[in-house]
């Protein structure tokens, strides 16, 4: 019987109507209009949004021997979160997101190897350089769609990897970039072998990255992105500067990915060629898919699942790990589209639990 | 002069392998728009099956080649029916993910069954040895490879241009709905084309085993070359991948021969430039 109830209106339509009325002059919107309510209510922090942070703190307290792995997981979450912004919200399918991760990693790494060891400014610079790379490459690739877009993103990442491979004098080539000297965070906390500092540092950066991303996707800009994903022509028709919006999102995501790359470089004090590889682009895609795309929290579920499973399985043999992750992907596409969060949502809807 | 001849010869051999593997992908992409990143899996499976038949069971070369193509084509139909069919016309992301999943599984399965090392190809005695052009010797096997490539191209071209089945494929690539409404069974057509494309990929993988080595990472590492050929050539034709394979094969060989310190960088840059100039590929339609 429940099935006959009217389906809840998709959330995007509120934003669309808001934009629509803006383009007509827009002054008639009042505080009580449902569109404004929809926008405002999505800003509010909900109780469950504290869960990832509580879990992260709990993990720090209860698993002291896993802090190094934990720092890597937090980095991966930030990387997946940046992908969610363009894949989940702007609907850009990319096979080369590692390009920006790698650019950030090499930027932070080169800075630290050449005397600029201060980590926070290093991260900021890594983010800026990766963001610039995002603007440059986005201006080229975002004019295309489908297979061409996939290919162009793949090509750019492959080119960068090959360039880093061949420019061994600067990047260390296949041996990786070594001799990094990262200064203590804030001049106080030295990066230790156990990864205690790294964990807290990554957690703090991830928190800032999450705040930024959350702010973006809930803003009018974020709603416009979703609108473009759902119906590009209509957004164009109501006067949204489609290309510029997509390019902005691409650049922001690139900058966040660059920060994630910088984090990895600083916490491991090493940058390898594989930070630019297709495998990494694929892995971050998989993490996000496992968690759920376009939900902001997919990265927080998918990345830890992937990284912990990899840590367990890959100890036996890194290649057999590929089998399980491949099988999991096939199963997710066949039976659990939308990843863990979509499945959770379906279960909760069945039992009518409200978040 | 010698260098030029050498580049042309080895480039042509590489182009043949690229063409055989990629042409099926191009046509199926043009027909159904399915982004099948797992196409290389058919090629590497072909390579493994043929090499195993030859080395472990002593099956003669021509017979094992034929068996390989048939087995892979039949196997691909099963995969198409079970996994791909429901994703046609669907979300591009789902297609990418499903096929990447298959690639990953193939990497692990190949390593489990055949180990991490590349499988050596021992051509039969009548195809080993060298042929001399002027003062320079070239492997006979690669001559055979290039000639077989030329034969396949001719057969494909005749088949597509001169037969009823070819006309149906062209019609369906042009306008699938129209083709459907005049009574062409596009689903069946697609399955047959898919099987043909996979069989050709298996042929390419098996024949080209001494150029693109058959090892567990094949489907992942060579994927980028197959995709380049398809994207540069444009979707849905046999002419597009032909010229693209020639271009990519010879250009890549030449660059790596003349500028080894830059490696594959050139071919990526050329592809990028070509795709920016013509996003639909050289022979694709807008």
- DSSP string for residues in A303-349: HHHHHHHHHHHHHH-HHHHHHHHHHHHHHHHHH-TTHHHHHHHHHHH
Place of tokens 């046999």: B238
| pTM score | 0.82
The CA dihedral of B147, B248, B9, B122, to the nearest 10 degrees, is -60
Neighbours of A238 (CB within 10 A): 16
Structure tokens at A161: 């990897």
Q: Which chain A residues are within 8 Å of B103, Cβ to Cβ?
A: 326
CA–CA dist B219, B72 (Å, integer): 15
For residue B94, give the nearest of A152, A166, A333 by CB distance.
A333
| Tokens representing residue A184 in the block | 């203590």
pLDDT-derived band at B77, boundaries 50, 70, 90: very high
Q: Using a CB–CB cutoff of 8 Å, tell me whether A323 touches chain B.
A: yes
B94 vs A329: CB contact, 8 Å cut-off? no
Mutate to test the interface with A, among B22, B35, B95, B101 (most CBs of A within 10 A): B101
pLDDT tens profile B131-172: 777 777 788 888 889 999 999 999 988 988 899 988 888 888
Q: Would the pLDDT of A354 be above 70?
A: no
The set of residues, in sequence order, having a beta carbon less than 8 Å from that of A117 and lying 6+ positions away, is A111, A181, A182, A183
For residue A24, what pLDDT is reported? Answer: 41
pLDDT digit string (tens) for A141-155?
A: 888 887 788 888 988
DSSP element (H, E) containing A216? helix A196-218
Chain B residue numbers with beta carbons less than 8 Å from the beta carbon of A163 are 265
What residues contact A336, with CB distance under 8 A and at least 6 apart? A342, A343
Question: How far does Cα B69 stand from its chain's mean position?
Answer: 13
Closest Cβ–Cβ partner in B105, B112, B235 for A326: B105
Contacts of A162 in chain B (CB under 8 A): 262-265, 268
Give the span between the Cα atoms of A294 and A351, in whole angstroms: 23
Nearest to B101 among A144, A319, A327 (CB): A327
**What's the gap in Å between the CA of A215 and the closest CA on chain B?**
26
Subunit contact B98:A159, Cβ cutoff 8 A: no
- For chain A, give the number of residues: 355
Let me know the angle formed at the C-alpha of B73 by B220 and B84, rounded to the nearest 5 degrees.
Answer: 65
* Chain A positions in Cβ-Cβ contact with residue B106 (cut-off 8 Å): 326
A309 touches chain B (CB under 8 A): no
Confidence of residue A35 (pLDDT cuts 50, 70, 90): low
* Cβ contact B108–A156 (<8 Å): no
What is the C-alpha radius of gyration for chain B, rounded to an integer number of angstroms?
A: 19
User: What is the least distance, in Å, from the CA of B114 to any CA of chain A?
Assistant: 13
Phi–psi pair at B136, nearest 5 degrees: -105, 135
- Looking at the predicted structure, is the pLDDT value of residue A192 above 80? no
Q: What percent of chain A has pLDDT over 70?
A: 86
> Which chain B positions have a beta carbon within 8 Å of A158's beta carbon?
224, 264, 268
Question: Residue B215 pLDDT > 90, yes or no?
Answer: no
Kindly report the three-state secondary structure assignment for every residue of B207-247: HHHHCCCECCCHHHHCHHHHHHHHHHHCCCCCHHHHHHHHH
- Distances in whole angstroms, Cα of residue A167 to Cα of each of A171, A332, B112, B141, B254: 6, 39, 35, 36, 20
The pLDDT of residue B106 is above 50: yes
Picking from B97, B100, B106, B37, the residue whose alpha carbon sits closest to that of residue A333 is B97
B interface with A, Cβ–Cβ below 8 Å: 29, 33, 35, 83, 87, 92-94, 96-98, 100-109, 111-112, 116, 216, 220, 224, 227-228, 230-231, 235, 261-265, 268-269, 271-272, 275-276, 279-280
- Which has the closest alpha carbon to A298: A52, A44, A53, A45? A52
Q: Is the pLDDT of residue A242 over 80?
A: yes
A·B CB contacts under 8 A: 124
Average pLDDT of the residues of chain B: 86
Binary contact (B279, A143; C-beta < 8 A): yes
Query: In sequence order, which residues have a C-beta less than 8 Å from that of residue B138 and are 6 or more positions away?
Result: B9, B130, B131, B132
The answer to whether B128 touches B114, Cβ cutoff 8 Å, is no
pLDDT band at A22 (very low <50, low <70, confident <90, very high): very low
For residue B77 the two structure tokens come to: 């139909």
Give the model's pLDDT for residue A25. 42
């Amino acid at each position: 019987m429940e099935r006959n109830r009217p389906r809840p209106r998709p959330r995007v339509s509120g934003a669309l109507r808001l934009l629509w009325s803006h383009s007509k002059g827009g002054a008639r919107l009042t505080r009580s209009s449902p569109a404004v309510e929809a926008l405002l209510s999505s800003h509010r922090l909900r109780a469950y949004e504290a869960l990832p942070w509580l879990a992260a703190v709990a993990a720090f307290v209860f698993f002291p021997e896993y802090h190094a792995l934990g720092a890597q997981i937090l980095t991966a979450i930030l990387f997946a979160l940046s992908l969610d912004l363009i894949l989940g919200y702007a609907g850009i399918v990319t096979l080369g997101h590692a390009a920006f991760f790698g650019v950030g990693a090499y930027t932070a790494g080169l800075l630290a190897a050449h005397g600029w060891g201060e980590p926070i400014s290093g991260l900021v610079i890594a983010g800026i350089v990766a963001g610039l790379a995002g603007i440059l490459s986005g201006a080229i690739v975002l004019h295309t769609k489908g297979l061409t877009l996939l290919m162009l993103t793949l090509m750019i990442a492959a080119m960068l990897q090959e360039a880093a491979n061949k420019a061994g004098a600067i990047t260390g080539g296949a041996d990786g970039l070594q001799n990094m000297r990262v200064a203590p965070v804030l001049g106080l906390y030295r990066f230790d072998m156990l990864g205690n500092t790294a964990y807290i540092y990554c957690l703090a950066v991830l928190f800032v990255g999450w705040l930024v991303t959350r702010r973006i996707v809930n803003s009018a800009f974020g709603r416009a992105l979703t609108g473009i994903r759902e119906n590009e022509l209509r957004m164009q028709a109501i006067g949204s500067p489609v290309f510029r919006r997509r390019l902005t999102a691409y650049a922001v995501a690139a900058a966040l990915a660059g920060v994630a790359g910088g984090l990895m470089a600083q916490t491991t004090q090493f940058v390898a060629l594989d930070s630019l590889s297709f495998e990494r682009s694929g892995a971050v895609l998989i993490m996000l898919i496992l968690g759920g795309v376009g939900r902001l929290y997919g990265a927080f579920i998918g990345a830890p699942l992937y990284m912990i499973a990899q840590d367990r399985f890959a100890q036996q043999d890194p290649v057999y790990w590929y089998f399980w992750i491949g099988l999991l992907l096939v199963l997710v596409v066949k039976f659990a589209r939308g990843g863990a969060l979509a499945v959770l949502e379906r279960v909760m809807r069945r039992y009518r639990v409200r978040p | 002069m010698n260098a030029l001849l050498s580049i042309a010869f080895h480039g042509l051999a590489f182009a043949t392998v690229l063409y055989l593997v990629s042409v099926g992908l191009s046509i199926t992409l043009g027909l159904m728009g399915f982004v099948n990143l797992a196409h290389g899996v058919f090629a590497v499976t072909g390579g493994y099956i043929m090499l195993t038949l030859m080395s472990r069971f002593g099956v003669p070369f021509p017979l094992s080649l034929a068996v390989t193509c048939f087995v892979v084509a039949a196997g691909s139909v099963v995969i198409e029916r079970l996994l791909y069919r429901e994703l046609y016309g669907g979300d591009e992301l789902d297609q990418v993910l499903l096929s990447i999943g298959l690639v990953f599984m193939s990497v692990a399965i190949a390593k489990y069954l055949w180990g991490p090392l590349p499988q050596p190809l021992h051509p039969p005695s009548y195809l080993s040895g060298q042929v001399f052009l002027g003062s320079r010797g070239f492997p006979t096997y690669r001559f055979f490879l290039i000639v077989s490539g030329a034969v396949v191209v001719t057969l494909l071209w005749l088949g597509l241009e001169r037969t009823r089945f070819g006309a149906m494929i062209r019609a369906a690539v042009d306008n699938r709905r129209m083709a459907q409404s005049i009574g062409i069974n596009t689903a069946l057509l697609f399955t047959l084309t898919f099987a043909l494309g996979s069989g050709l990929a298996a042929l390419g993988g098996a024949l080209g085993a001494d150029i693109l080595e058959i090892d567990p990472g094949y489907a992942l590492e060579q994927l980028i070359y197959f995709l380049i050929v398809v994207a540069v050539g444009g979707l849905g034709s046999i002419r597009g991948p032909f010229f693209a394979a020639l271009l990519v094969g010879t250009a890549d060989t030449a660059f790596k021969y003349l500028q080894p310190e830059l490696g594959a960088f050139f071919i990526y840059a050329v592809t990028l430039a070509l795709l920016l100039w013509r996003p639909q590929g050289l022979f694709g339609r807008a």
